[in-house]
A and B are shown apart, each in its own frame.
Chain A
Amino acid sequence: MRALGTRLLAPAILVAVGLPFATLGVWSLAERWFFPDLWPQAWGLRAWRYVFATAGGQVAAALVQSVAVATATSLVSVVVALPAARALGLYDFRGKDTISVLLTLPVIVPPLSVAMGLHLWFIRLGLAETFVGVVAVHLTFCLPYAVFVLWGVFSNYNPDFESQARSLGASQLRVWRQVMLPMVMPGLIVAGLFAFLLSWSQYLSTLIIGGGRLTTLPVLLFALMGSGDRPVAAAVSIVFVLPAFVALLFSARHLGGQSLAGVR
């Protein structure tokens, strides 16, 4: 019984994980697919032609916008989180618990509460409906996540290597570049991917601060869902997941696969 269960587990996981993507894939290629047929009556590339040609400009612009926002958010998160995580991981000091709580809150409090509060302030600062404004609101939760990932990295970090390099005459900058950075690089990449994916899948905070002017992919996808064109919505959905798959393959290739555990 147990042997059978174990043998069925792998196929069951494959089917459960694969089914939503298969559904989206078939829908994106369906020209006509009326109830109750299990299979489309006519196949075609209409949806994909729409995505790449008719609305090509719109989808490409949304793709560029999403990539730009997520990349900027991820880079700022990692650069700002790195020194903070080093301080938290390597040193003991008063107020560390308070800082930990302070960083936990943005991880659990939903972004919509923060985005609605920030909106009016951002309007007055001229940040509403701007790229910087959307990146800023994404930072509220991406940055703490990055700090937590890197905090874990620095908890297992041995600073003695740095003193050795320094005693051999390396400058502070060289120590950072040639000792610290290579040692924490895998963690740095995970933290960056983490922040990228979190920002990538944001919808409501982008909509509130971006005011519909900053059309990222999820904003576009929601608009398309409203139009009720299923094949097109399926095709855009597939475009929307691709970066996630690339990130996953990348992490599996370079970081040994297990490292994305914890991404949401």
Chain B
Amino acid sequence: MADPDAGRDARTRRAAGRGSLAVMLLPALMAVVGLFGGGLFLGILQGLGHLPGAGLSRLSATHFSRVWSDPDFLTSFGLTLYIAAVSTLVAAVISVVAALALSRLVNRYRAVHFVFQVPLTVPHLVIAVAVLFMISPAGLLARVAAAAGLIQAPADFPLLVNDRWSIGIILTYVWKEIPFITLMLLAVLQNAGRELLDVGRTLKADAWQRFRHIVLPTIFPALGAASLIVFAYTFGAFEVPYLLGRTYPMTLPVWAYKHYSDIDLLARPEGIATGILIAGMVAAAVVTAQALTRAARKKGIVL
């Protein structure tokens, strides 16, 4: 009786350590796996045609292939990709400029820094409403144009919301995401940038060389991560394109929800299948971007 107990003592302590780690991690993991993983899993099952009571034997890829072969799917995908890519790119470029300018300014003007944080906390929906009021055909900008004698009636004003180029949607995203990216860049710049720039200056590097070889490598990981988050968000978001987009073509999330909430219950699995496809595309984009960065680093391309 005494022998196994004595031998177990050390082992139990190690096991207890592992056990307590499990206890700490389990609630969070169970919630994420159960709710998030469960949601995706059940979404895939329903997308594969699983109906309650019908059993799993009838799974088929019909809904996925119907979504896939719908000519509107490709149009919607193109529109979604266009909005996400342009919004991310524009926001990223402006953010780099803003971060560089602000890194010189911030210490003197804390208020500017504070104001810059405001867009972070504001819901996208509110900004979409404000953008609508500002650039719609009878909006603020059109009134300014009328006052300047450029247009006579709202109909003369170029269509900037519910428009072909999704200007309103992109504007909303850019306004919301610039502070997000900029503040991520500022955090990096203020920690690491200063001294290296001084070294660069002592070594007589010109402004462009300092940017290319010091600033860009310093901020790139943060810029990449922030841009990826923005891209993933704008690709899968519903509210802004729903409010400011055209009725045709729709972005993929709007398309998915339209099918999902269709009175025709047969359209529902197609909506779910589209949602799963969106999830898959976003995940694939993030994985690819990370793999590309890693591969570039291995080849010695310093970015």
Contact = CB atoms under 8 A, between A and B. Distances in A.
Interface of A: 5-6, 9-10, 13-14, 16-21, 23-24, 27, 35-38, 80-81, 83-84, 86-88, 91, 93, 99, 102-110, 112-118, 120-121, 124, 136-137, 139-141, 143-144, 147, 197, 200-201, 203-204, 208, 218, 221-222, 225, 230, 233-234, 237, 240-241, 244-245, 247-248, 252, 257-258, 260-264
Interface stretch (B27-35, B59-67, B70-78): B27-35
A257 B109 CA distance: 12
Contacts of A20: 126-127, 130-131, 134, 175
A257 B236 contact: no
B213 interface: no
A84 B129 contact: no
9 residue pairs, one from A and one from B, having the closest CB atoms: A110-B236, A117-B43, A201-B123, A20-B130, A36-B146, A84-B28, A114-B39, A244-B121, A261-B183
Contacts of B127: 20
A137 B32 CA distance: 10
B110 interface: yes
Contact of A81 (B28, B115, B239): B28
Given A16-B175, A230-B133, A261-B120, A112 B146 contact: no
Is the contact region of chain B dominated by helix, strand, or loop, or is it mixed? helix
A197 B125 contact: no
A215 to B, nearest CB: 14
B27 A263 contact: no
A124 B98 CA distance: 50
B223 interface: no
B57 to A, nearest CB: 18
B169 interface: no
5 contacts: A13-B112, A20-B127, A23-B134, A108-B286, A117-B42
B28 A143 contact: yes
Contact of A143 (B31, B110, B112): B31
Given A116-B260, A218-B239, 6 more contacts: A6-B101, A84-B24, A86-B24, A121-B39, A234-B129, A252-B117
Interface of B: 18, 21, 23-25, 27-29, 31-33, 35-36, 38-44, 46, 52, 101-102, 104-105, 109-127, 129-131, 133-134, 138, 140, 142-144, 146-147, 153-154, 175, 180, 183-184, 186-187, 228-229, 232-233, 235-239, 243, 253, 256-257, 260, 271-272, 275-276, 278-279, 282-283, 286
Contacts of B123: 200-201, 218, 240-241, 244
A103 B37 CA distance: 11
A117 B41 contact: yes
A6 B104 contact: yes
Nearest to A221: B125
A36 B129 contact: no
B31 A6 contact: no
Given A117-B275, A203-B125, A261-B184, A99 B25 contact: yes
A237 B130 contact: yes
A87 B24 contact: yes
A20 B119 CA distance: 10
